[in-house]
Amino acid sequence: MRYAALFATGLTAVASFGAPAANAAAIHDAGLFTTVLPANDDESTGQVNLGFSALINGTTYTQTYVNNNGNITFNNPLGTYTPAAITDGSFGPIIAAYFADVDTRGAGSNPVTYGTATLGGHNVFGVDYIHVGVYSEQPIYNSFQMILTDRSDVGAGDFDIQFNYDTITWEAGTASGAPAGGLGGTSALVGYWTSPTSNATLPGSLINGALINGGPDALISHSLNSNVLGQYNFQVRNGSVVPVVPGVPEPETYALMGLGLGLLGWIARKRQHKAA
């Protein structure tokens, strides 16, 4: 697995559910997450229930905010549309499947949907960004998904994170410096912050052309802790993403020995303002 060689601090395997895909490629069980965040640009839900308790950086959360721009946060909603470094914790706990300027107002875009369900005997919380457009209402679309899985069977507050990607054709909106067409500017970021010592991004984040279909780090062409291309799996244990213990796989877990996660160099960006 190509990504295994690129990482240096802890990532681990996650439960694999093996359910039939509701969409092509890695996205699965999308029909379970049906609560709609109405079409918008840069908006968020209020606090919504996870359906389980998640321990993150010493705090137990039972609710989260679903943000239109490809991420969820736990302390406050996030309307930021141009991605920037998350390693300093300035956004608080954040899980970002594709942090970029999603705009679902266009006639061809689907809205973001989310909700709770049960998969593989575990409570899950999922968010679907399937066929979503980019600012400003451009007719180009990405499809991706995140699923958080309760692993209280392992330890109180433990959970898994899964990112799934079917197609990624745009990386930024015009307000983030990209010309029409969604390529260029300040490109999307994929990663997480769960503690000051547990935060990272995937290779290709904030790099023009890297994460899109056909790019050197194309999200649909690689995987992490999974044999499904376009699927990236992480475990959060005792509040942080932790490394695999060789020879001690958890139940329902694919343990990939020697795998770690390294931090990319970060590109700090000054937030840009959209025209009224």
Tell me whether the omega of the peptide bond preceding residue 53 falls within 30 degrees of 0, making it cis: no
Strand segments (E) across the chain: 35-37, 48-56, 59-67, 71-73, 94-99, 112-119, 122-134, 138-150, 159-167, 189-195, 198-201, 231-237, 240-241
Q: Please give the Cα distance from 177 to 82 (Å, whole number).
A: 9
Residues of the chain below pLDDT 50: 1-22, 24, 244-273, 275-276
The answer to whether 78 and 96 have CB atoms below 8 angstroms apart is no
Q: Quote the domain boundaries for residue 155.
A: 2-241
- Is the pTM higher than 0.85? The answer reads no
pLDDT at residue 79, rounded to an integer:
98
Running DSSP on this structure, what letter comes out for residue 44? B
Identify whether 255 is part of a domain: no
pLDDT at residue 87, rounded to an integer:
85
Residue in the block written with tokens 């049960």: 118
Burial 76-98 (b: 16+ CB within 10 A, else e): ebbebbbbbbbeeeebebbbbbb
pLDDT at residue 19, rounded to an integer:
35
For 170, residues 6+ apart whose C-beta sits below 8 A from its C-beta are: 100, 134, 138, 140, 141, 142, 178, 181, 182, 183, 212
pLDDT at residue 200, rounded to an integer:
87
Identify whether 16 is part of a domain: yes
Q: Please give the Cα distance from 104 to 141 (Å, whole number).
A: 10
pLDDT at residue 266, rounded to an integer:
26
pLDDT at residue 243, rounded to an integer:
56
Residue type, 179: P
Identify whether 256 is part of a domain: no
Identify whether 269 is part of a domain: no
The answer to whether 204 and 210 have CB atoms below 8 angstroms apart is yes
Structure confidence by residue, pLDDT tens digits, 233-259: 999 999 999 653 333 334 343 322 223
Q: Please give the Cα distance from 251 to 155 (Å, whole number).
A: 12
Identify whether 173 is part of a domain: yes
Identify whether 271 is part of a domain: no
Give one word for 3, left, alpha or beta, with left for phi > 0 and alpha for psi -120 to 50: alpha
Helix, strand or coil, per DSSP, at residue 41:
strand
Q: Number of structural domains, the chain?
A: 1
User: Which of 218, 127, 125, 205 shows the shortest CA–CA distance to 172?
Assistant: 205
Residue type, 143: S
Structure confidence by residue, pLDDT tens digits, 258-272: 233 333 222 222 233
pLDDT at residue 274, rounded to an integer:
53
pLDDT at residue 116, rounded to an integer:
98
Identify whether 224 is part of a domain: yes
Q: Please give the Cα distance from 219 to 252 (Å, whole number).
A: 24
Identify whether 275 is part of a domain: no
User: Which of 121, 125, 263 shows the shortest CA–CA distance to 201?
Assistant: 263
How is residue 156 written in tokens? Answer: 């109180």
